[in-house]
Structure 1
Amino acid sequence: MKWNWTQAGWPQFTYDAAAIEPLERRFLLTSGEVIGAVRHVNDDDRNLLRIELLSDEAVKTSEIEGEMLDRLSIQSSLCGQLGLDANARPVRPQERGIAEMMIDIYDTWFAPLDHQTLFRWHRMLMMGNRHIGVIGGYRPHGDAMQIVSGHHDKPIIHFEAPPSRQVPGEMTSYVEWFNKSSPKGELSLPALIRAGIGHLYFESIHPFEDGNGRIGRALAEKSLAQNIGQPSLIALAYTIERDPKTYYDQLERHQRTLDVTEWLVYFAETILEAQQTTLKRVAFYIDKARFYDRFRGQFNERQEKVVACMFREGPAGFKGDLSAENYISIARTSRATATRDLHDLVEKGALTRTGLRRHTRYTLNLAAVKKTE
């Protein structure tokens, strides 16, 4: 079957706008909810919330590509770039680079897209990378750019992108399309349709030797921000990473056709799910701030360390909840001390306890914080 870029009509994608319209309405409605939720956070905490959300996206967009980064190192780098107090945690080049890109996306969401922006993001992403020939420029090599899997003697070709000689022209057309389809552009498109086409269109060109997935998702974020008039802060990569197989299957299927209705429905539903995830994370962050306000100065050093670790797990909490064994491992303490510390946290109302003996588990008591509002 022909790839989409080889077909007559490329890059004119076709779709059923009526199938997306109800999702567009939900997106705009929920965007207002997200904006309102963030406004409930005071200015100082809003910076910390932004760091939490941006670091989550940085980690997850990298994990989708199989790269594991340290979340706390990324947060340290984000703090430094935002002029906030940062710890002295070592930060590797790739963690500093992805953090710089996330800040750049956040700060320049309103600016028209150009080649230099894409090159700048690529330089940030490839910071410290010595394995590719061109950093901060489109791929120039003569070999076919293919997405493959399987054994080297029997490779499965999932997609083959346009040859490198076509990339500059393809990207000039892409940049022109991106800017014309913006809210103030002459061919303005609804938010979800624009973000969905923009992501698939970019991934189909695959203009860089590496980093295309991460930059493609960054473009979706920039597109959504322009349509709602401010950074979206939605957990797009965080949501995609939960089911990357479906994401890649959908991309592969729709890189063989110019009819992208099913892709747009999938991507729109993913964005809507990402919005709900962001709402939950904002609510969790507000509860976290209130929790620390209520219990400030009441925990010993071991308890502080374990509670902080529990909060880092996010709204889902510890898988299987916290056990005494978890506490011993995190706090590096004895069983007797762990038992006393956990009992004290339950007595103070910071944790709730369920189960008996070796099945006893502990969770953060955020309900108690909400009751004090």
Structure 2
Amino acid sequence: MIWNWQQPDWPYFSYDKSLLDESEKQFLLGSGLVFGAFKHLNEGDKQQLTVELISNEALKTSEIEGEYLDRDSLQSSIRRQFGLITDNRKIPPAEQGIAEMMVDVYRDFESPLSHTMLFEWHKMLTNGRRDLADIGQYRTHAEPMQIVSGAIYAPKVHFEAPPSAQMMPEMERFIDWFNATASNGKTPLPALLRAAIAHLYFVSIHPFEDGNGRIGRALAEKALSQCLGQPTLIAISYTIERDKKTYYSALEQANKQTEITAWRLYFADTVINAQSYTSTWIDFLIKKAKLYDRLRGQINPRQEKVLTRMFREGPDGFIGGLSAEKYIGITGAPRVTVTRDLQDLVGKGALLRHGERKHTRYFLNLE
């Protein structure tokens, strides 16, 4: 098998430019709408949105690689780094590391890419690991770096990266390309095109012993933020994780050639869908503010506690809706009080009721 890095024109990627313009326009228009809506949030909701989306990305970029982390620990770590009120829980190393990396990507998006930055990200990402020989540096092992699946006796090789001995010259060239193609660089590229190439180019080199996918997706986020001039808060990993089979299939095809039109189209669709998810969150928080304004002075502490808990679940809400049992669990109130509270919230238009008797469930009324 001949891989993309073995092609004579590597690392110069080609693509059909006529198929790219429309998605770039759609992305820029969507970005303007997202940033415009974001300005209408109050400071508390801006903080909530930032923490929610960064923690969700940290969670999902790890799940893509088969690592499942604790959401509450991630959010606590992120809030702490932003200087926000949080609990004093002990954060496990994996959650602490990925949270630090994601916050660094958010805060320091303008800085040029460097070996030092990548090494620091890798140290954060591998926080607590004892199974890796090379932490905070490019891989040095002599054996081939391969992505494989299947049984040990009959493995399927999905990709083989350049030998470890080539890492420094390959990464020198990658970093030069990344910085030159920024909006203030020598050869700027459109946002979606640059992000798509950055991710593919980086994971094709696969410079680290582990963590390449997560760092590659962080680089795509950095590329988009640099092109827009501010952090994007786009849920790329959330969108990829929902259909990671297609993601891996698109990567596998792109790893075999330097013509990347199909990969570029896939990645553009992914980013635009991710942007839509961010818009959904902003719309959700704006409706939340309006609901609280309408209910101000009309609900008791129990009802406020339950609504706050429901809003924490985000636009998707509680799976299956709020039941009387969940209300009791949140407030500790007796059932007769819970029944009265829920009826009152429905009457005030805060909740919508569905079902009857033991099947009754309640949902936020945001319309």
SS state at 1:249 partner: helix
Change in 2 beyond 3 A, CA 1:125/1:289: farther
Residue 157 of structure 1 is matched in structure 2 by 157
Residue 210 of structure 1 is matched in structure 2 by 210
Q: How far does residue 307 in structure 1 lie from its aligned partner after superposition?
A: 3.1
| TM-score for the superposition, normalised by structure 1 | 0.92
The reply on whether 1:136 has 2:167 as its aligned counterpart is no
Aligned residues of 2:239 and 2:273 also touching (Cα < 8 A) = yes
Residue 175 of structure 2 is matched in structure 1 by 175
Question: What is the letter of the counterpart of residue 35 of structure 1?
Answer: F
Residue 346 of structure 1 is matched in structure 2 by 346
The reply on whether 1:166 has 2:166 as its aligned counterpart is yes
The reply on whether 1:93 has 2:93 as its aligned counterpart is yes
Residue 275 of structure 1 is matched in structure 2 by 275
Q: How far does residue 333 in structure 1 lie from its aligned partner after superposition?
A: 6.5
Larger mean Cα displacement after TM superposition, 227-236 or 35-44: 35-44
Deviations along 1:253-309, one digit per CA (max 9) or x if unpaired, are 1101111000000000111111111111111122223434444672444x4554344
In structure 1, the gaps of 5 or more residues are 368-373
Question: What is the letter of the counterpart of residue 200 of structure 1?
Answer: L
Residue 46 of structure 2 is matched in structure 1 by 46
Deviations along 1:86-132, one digit per CA (max 9) or x if unpaired, are 22233111111112111111111111111111011111111111121
The reply on whether 1:239 has 2:239 as its aligned counterpart is yes
SS state at 2:148 partner: strand
RMSD: 1.9
2 CA distance for matches of 1:247 and 1:346? 42
Aligned residues of 2:49 and 2:281 also touching (Cα < 8 A) = no
Residue 258 of structure 2 is matched in structure 1 by 258
2 CA distance for matches of 1:139 and 1:337? 62
Q: How far does residue 213 in structure 1 lie from its aligned partner after superposition?
A: 0.9
SS state at 1:343 partner: helix
Residue 35 of structure 2 is matched in structure 1 by 35
The reply on whether 1:107 has 2:107 as its aligned counterpart is yes
1 CA distance for matches of 2:42 and 2:327? 32
Aligned-residue sequence identity (percent) comes to 56
1 CA distance for matches of 2:29 and 2:59? 28
1 CA distance for matches of 2:306 and 2:63? 25
2 CA distance for matches of 1:245 and 1:335? 45
| TM-score for the superposition, normalised by structure 2 | 0.94
Question: What is the letter of the counterpart of residue 124 of structure 1?
Answer: M
SS state at 1:366 partner: coil
Larger mean Cα displacement after TM superposition, 305-314 or 188-197: 305-314
Change in 2 beyond 3 A, CA 1:211/1:332: farther
Matched ranges for 1:55-134 at <5 A: 55-134=55-134
Q: How far does residue 349 in structure 1 lie from its aligned partner after superposition?
A: 2.8
The reply on whether 1:310 has 2:314 as its aligned counterpart is no
Change in 2 beyond 3 A, CA 1:294/1:68: farther
Q: How far does residue 310 in structure 1 lie from its aligned partner after superposition?
A: 2.5
SS state at 1:83 partner: coil
- Give the paired residue count: 366
In structure 2, the gaps of 5 or more residues are none
Residue 248 of structure 2 is matched in structure 1 by 248
